[in-house]
């Protein structure tokens, strides 16, 4: 039997001991990533902040229930995602999530696109184009249903594996693959509509910032859809 080695072992041990700085260490290690996930799920900064607070309190209170069957990060992401979904359910007046079936390309019985998918490309070295890309991608992700947003964020922004994403969201790997593919196709359509340039190939930029890296990761993911 293979034993999972969790890089967060020292943090987990500190939380279990109730060390005075353990909560601060938890926020330092996962605050930004948890915030991004909660924001994408809720679509609302205030709800996201409250969801993260609820999730971190839950992590601290329930740390003894963490058995190490999955990575600590996956366990934490699942708690954050559930807190985000709960905030969405509580919120009144929220519009229904968009139906991907109305926005994705049509497929035949064999899963192939009925209509040709446009060849699009762009240069992302230009800071102005970087800003535009981030705006298009951010808008596209926000339009996805919450459960699709979470998959896209964990796989293509946080770079979790398919198994880690499945564990974090309580899904099967097959579900993760399906939602990721559909989410990427949707982003591809949004990019095609705004940034298509005929007859040029995608050129990888020299990445200097975390935002640029994440943007290119999403662009590449959409291109592979």
- Which range has the worst mean pLDDT, 39-48, 135-144, 189-198, 214-223? 214-223
Sign of the torsion angle spanned by Cα atoms 156, 159, 163, 167: negative
End-to-end CA gap in the chain: 36
Q: Is the per-residue pLDDT at 98 higher than 70?
A: no
What is the secondary structure of 183-202 as a DSSP string? Answer: HHHHHHHHHHHHH--TT---
Domain ranges of the chain: 9-90, 100-224
Over range 196-223, report the average pLDDT: 49
Cα–Cα distance, 173 to 152 (Å, whole number): 13
20, 51, 85, 151, 170 from 90: Cα distances, Å: 33, 11, 9, 22, 21
Higher pLDDT, 89 or 54: 54
pLDDT of residue 191: 76
72 class by beta-carbon count within 10 Å (0-12 exposed, 13-18 middle, 19+ buried): buried
52, 166, 190 from 49: Cα distances, Å: 5, 24, 28
Which residues are bridge partners to 113 per DSSP?
107
In 3D, which of 157, 147, 128, 139 has the Cα closest to residue 221? 157
Q: Are 102 and 144 in contact (CB under 8 A)?
A: no
CATH 2.60.40.10 fits 9-90, yes or no: no
Candidates 3.40.47.10, 3.40.50.150, 1.10.10.10, 1.10.1530.10; correct CATH number of 100-224? 1.10.10.10
pLDDT in tens, 110-120: 555 445 444 44
pLDDT of residue 221: 59
- Which range has the worst mean pLDDT, 133-137, 184-188, 211-215? 211-215
pLDDT in tens, 11-70: 999 999 999 999 999 999 999 999 999 988 888 889 999 999 999 999 999 999 998 888
Domains 9-90 and 100-224 share a fold: no
Q: Is the per-residue pLDDT at 157 higher than 60?
A: yes
pLDDT of residue 54: 95
Q: Is the per-residue pLDDT at 96 higher than 50?
A: no
Over range 139-150, report the average pLDDT: 83
* Phi, psi at 190, each rounded to 5°: -65, -40
Which two tokens mark 179? 């939602």
């Amino acid at each position: 039997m293979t034993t999972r080695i969790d890089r967060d072992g020292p943090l987990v041990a500190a939380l279990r001991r109730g060390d005075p700085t353990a909560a601060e260490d938890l926020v330092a290690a996962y605050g930004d990533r948890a915030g991004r996930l909660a924001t994408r799920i809720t679509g609302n900064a205030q709800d996201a902040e409250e969801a993260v607070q609820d999730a971190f309190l839950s992590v601290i209170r329930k740390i003894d229930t963490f058995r190490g069957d999955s990575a600590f990060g996956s366990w934490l992401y699942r708690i954050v995602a559930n807190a985000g979904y709960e905030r969405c359910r509580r919120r009144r007046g929220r519009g229904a999530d968009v139906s991907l079936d109305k926005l994705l390309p049509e497929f035949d019985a064999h899963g192939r696109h009925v209509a040709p998918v446009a060849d699009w490309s762009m240069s992302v070295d230009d800071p102005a184009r970087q800003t535009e890309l981030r705006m298009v991608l951010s808008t596209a992700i926000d339009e996805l249903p919450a459960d699709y947003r979470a998959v896209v964020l964990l796989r293509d922004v946080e770079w979790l594996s398919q198994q880690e994403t499945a564990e974090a969201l309580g899904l099967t790997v097959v579900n993760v693959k399906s939602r990721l593919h559909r989410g990427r196709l949707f982003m591809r359509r949004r990019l095609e509509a705004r940034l298509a340039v005929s007859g040029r190939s995608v050129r990888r930029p020299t990445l200097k910032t975390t935002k640029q890296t994440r943007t290119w990761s999403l662009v590449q993911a959409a291109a592979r859809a």
